[in-house]
Amino acid sequence: MGQPGSKIRSDLLCASCGCNLLGQPKTGECPECGMLVAESLPPVMLKESDPDWIRALRNGTSWMLAGIACYFILMLFIGIMTARLIEAQPNNLAPGKTLVLPGWYLVTNLALMAVVSIILCIAIWQITTPEPEALRPQTTRDIARWALLASYALMMIAIVVQLPQSEDSTALATCLHALAGLLSLIGTVSLLAYLRDLAMRLPDTRLAGHTKAVQLGTIGAVVVGFVAFMGLLGSIASPNNPQSRPPPLALIALMLAGLAMLVLVIWWVVLILRFRGWFATAHRMAVYHAHNQTAVRY
Ligand SMILES: [Zn+2]
């Protein structure tokens, strides 16, 4: 990494206008077209980057794997608890009655969700650690960090708000969950864009391609799932549909979107494992590189 304010020490053509940037500060702009000088520099490989920063990336991927594993265990646990609850009070599922959830059930859910959220927050915090002396703006990293942390916080608030189980509190919790979902989508798409840039600095173009595929797949699955869900809601609430029969097309689309999400999560776990291996290797090489700084630099 260059020192802040250090200058370009050899011929380097501006990627936009072709002007020679020799002697320009690395943090400056092209004197001809105004593009950031950093945009014309070749990307710095991770193995030549700050070792502490790469260690944070590696630790972040470990926390991410732990968080995903805990999330699945949590879902299984909540599923079993809910099934037991319905078994214990079957009358509550009769038409016209709403299932009243006991306080202990909600508090246990809240506590377990809190543990998973904290693990995932640590993961996001580490993976999106700012790169020291980064010359380029890191917009996707910033968006990923704050959108994902905000979405976890909103989800926790939504569960707390829901505790009284009144009509108002449920409506507010639904709004908070929707907002959390939107932020989570924005954060996930940004995180995948950031990881794709990191993959190019490993360099592993195949991993970058897979990361992009998961990114596009996530957007597609969420859009299809959302449209199908709104279609279902609309048809059930419609006065033209007295039997409240859900349209089969919307049901199929919703199921396909759910299946796609499952595939994407498994794919995501495989990619995280791959990134973790790469980050571990890059960290070892970066430590070595930091001790033997003889590489020729621009
Ligand atoms: Zn230029």
Output the average pLDDT for the chain. Answer: 87
How remote is the CA of residue 20 from the centroid of ligand 1, in Å? 8
The pLDDT of residue 2 is 45
- Which domain covers residue 16, as residue numbers? 1-41
| Total count of residues recorded for the chain | 298
How remote is the CA of residue 190 from the centroid of ligand 1, in Å? 28
Nearest to 33 by CA among 12, 45, 52, 18: 18
Based on the domain organization, do 119 and 247 belong to the same domain? Answer: yes
Give the count of domains, the chain: 2
How remote is the CA of residue 37 from the centroid of ligand 1, in Å? 8
How remote is the CA of residue 38 from the centroid of ligand 1, in Å? 11
251 pLDDT band (50/70/90 cuts)? confident
pLDDT tens digits, one per residue of 55-75: 999 999 999 999 999 999 988
How remote is the CA of residue 10 from the centroid of ligand 1, in Å? 16
- The end-to-end CA distance of the chain, in Å, is 10
Q: Decide if 101 is inside a domain.
A: yes
Count Cβ neighbours within 10 Å for each residue of 34-63 and write b for 16 or more, e otherwise. ebbbbebbeebbbbbbbbebbbbbbbbbbb
How remote is the CA of residue 18 from the centroid of ligand 1, in Å? 6
How remote is the CA of residue 191 from the centroid of ligand 1, in Å? 29
Residue 152: count of CB within 10 angstroms of its CB:
21
Based on the domain organization, do 196 and 280 belong to the same domain? Answer: yes
pLDDT tens digits, one per residue of 272-283: 999 999 999 999
How remote is the CA of residue 5 from the centroid of ligand 1, in Å? 19
Please give the structure tokens belonging to residue 111. Answer: 């506590």
pLDDT tens digits, one per residue of 220-247: 999 999 999 888 887 776 666 656 667 7
pLDDT of 133 strictly over 60: yes
DSSP 7: B
Please give the structure tokens belonging to residue 140. Answer: 């996707």
Based on the domain organization, do 35 and 54 belong to the same domain? Answer: no
How remote is the CA of residue 135 from the centroid of ligand 1, in Å? 16
Based on the domain organization, do 6 and 124 belong to the same domain? Answer: no
Q: Decide if 287 is inside a domain.
A: yes
Based on the domain organization, do 210 and 119 belong to the same domain? Answer: yes
The pLDDT of residue 231 is 85
Based on the domain organization, do 92 and 208 belong to the same domain? Answer: yes
Q: Decide if 98 is inside a domain.
A: yes
How remote is the CA of residue 130 from the centroid of ligand 1, in Å? 27
Based on the domain organization, do 17 and 35 belong to the same domain? Answer: yes
Based on the domain organization, do 105 and 23 belong to the same domain? Answer: no
Q: Decide if 267 is inside a domain.
A: yes
Percent with pLDDT over 90 in the chain: 56
How remote is the CA of residue 89 from the centroid of ligand 1, in Å? 72
pLDDT of 5 strictly over 80: no
Q: Is residue 181 within 8 Å of residue 223, measured between CB atoms? A: no
Q: Decide if 296 is inside a domain.
A: no
Q: Decide if 245 is inside a domain.
A: yes
pLDDT of 164 strictly over 90: no
Based on the domain organization, do 23 and 78 belong to the same domain? Answer: no
How remote is the CA of residue 138 from the centroid of ligand 1, in Å? 21
Q: Please state the rounded mean pLDDT for residues 205-219.
A: 96
Q: Decide if 118 is inside a domain.
A: yes
Q: Is residue 232 within 8 Å of residue 247, measured between CB atoms? A: yes
The pLDDT of residue 295 is 53
CA distance 66 to 194: 21
Q: Is residue 186 within 8 Å of residue 163, measured between CB atoms? A: no
pLDDT of 161 strictly over 50: yes
How remote is the CA of residue 36 from the centroid of ligand 1, in Å? 8
The pTM of this model reads 0.84
How remote is the CA of residue 43 from the centroid of ligand 1, in Å? 18
Q: Decide if 298 is inside a domain.
A: no
Based on the domain organization, do 30 and 52 belong to the same domain? Answer: no
Measure the CA angle with vertex 82, ends 80 and 86; round to 5°.
Answer: 120
pLDDT tens digits, one per residue of 82-124: 888 878 776 655 555 566 677 787 788 888 888 999 999 999 9
Residue 230 burial class via C-beta count within 10 angstroms: exposed 0-12, middle 13-18, buried 19 and up: exposed
Based on the domain organization, do 23 and 164 belong to the same domain? Answer: no
Ligand 1 is an ion; its neighbours by CB within 5 Å are 14, 16-17, 19, 30, 32-33
Based on the domain organization, do 115 and 15 belong to the same domain? Answer: no
